[in-house]
Amino acid sequence: MTTTAETTSPAAATTTPVYRVYIGNLTANVQEEQLKNSFSKFGDVSNIKIVKKPKQTFGFVDMANEESAKTAIEKLNKTEIDSQQVDVELAKTERPKRGRPTKQRRPRAPKATTTATTPAATTTTDAPAADASAAPATNGKPKRKSNKPRKSKKTTTTTTGPKATSTTASSDAAAKKQQSTTTLYVRNIPFSFDDAQLLDTFKEYSPKSAHVIINKITKKSRGYGFVEFDDVSNREKALEMDKKVIAEREILVKIALVAENYDTKEATTPDTKTETPTTTTA
């Protein structure tokens, strides 16, 4: 006679549902035995768990069936266990997880793709081809261009009598200058010189008049001036005074510049260090 043993897998075995009861407001000194004695009066107790935290103590009791769990809750809620009133209710089996809801990210736009070919590499993009005459883009925004034309201006100094004034002339106007036939520009003269002393310096060449440029703010000499003659020959002879030492200063003498429509009233300084001369009136 052969006997066969029947085996069942753990997954196939049936389990009895457990009804968990929550007990709140327990004392810190409560014991599992006290909870078992209180709940076993209303049914079978399969498990007891006590959780102790710094500010509260609570526990869980697993009852065998729903009827015994409901009876224990009805009889023990608001009663005393270990000399303290407790709260008894059915435990929540599933609680929602705390946390912020996840946000769905927006799909990114496809990037431009570059396709290399032989012999030259070509670029393929999803966007339409940009016009060659369009303004270049900077950080995704078109670069603004000013419609105002740029003007290159140079500052010259115009003097009328003893007072000097500043004016602005374009490079085209500066190009329309020519050498004066009767006026000389004298630089590095002593700062103590006035018009009469400058005129006396050139008396050998029969000067007509002389004028020392004065600073309109300080009212002192600026160290240069103009000497005018009656004719070209006297002006040419007076150029011999260039680099002569007058009162321990080496003066520099050059032909003054005037505009094309020169009317014997306007002359400019031939300053070789700057492109634009300084306009003066002797």
Complete domains list, the chain, with CATH: 19-90 (3.30.70.330), 153-280 (3.30.70.330)
| Least reliable range by pLDDT among 14-18, 201-205, 228-232 | 14-18
Task: Calculate what percentage of the chain has a pLDDT beyond 70.
Answer: 60
What is residue 140's predicted lDDT score, i.e. its pLDDT? Answer: 59
DSSP 204: G
- Mean pLDDT over 136-141 rounds to 58
Residue 8: burial class (beta carbons within 10 Å; 0-12, 13-18, 19+):
exposed
| pLDDT computed for residue 31 by the predictor | 92
63-77, 98-112, 175-189, 241-255, range with the lowest pLDDT = 98-112
Give the pLDDT confidence score for residue 281 in this predicted structure. Answer: 44
* Residue 40: per-residue pLDDT: 92
3-class state of residue 19 by DSSP: strand
Residue 47 pLDDT:
93
Per the listing, tokens 């080496």 go with: 250
Selected residue with higher pLDDT from 146 and 195: 195
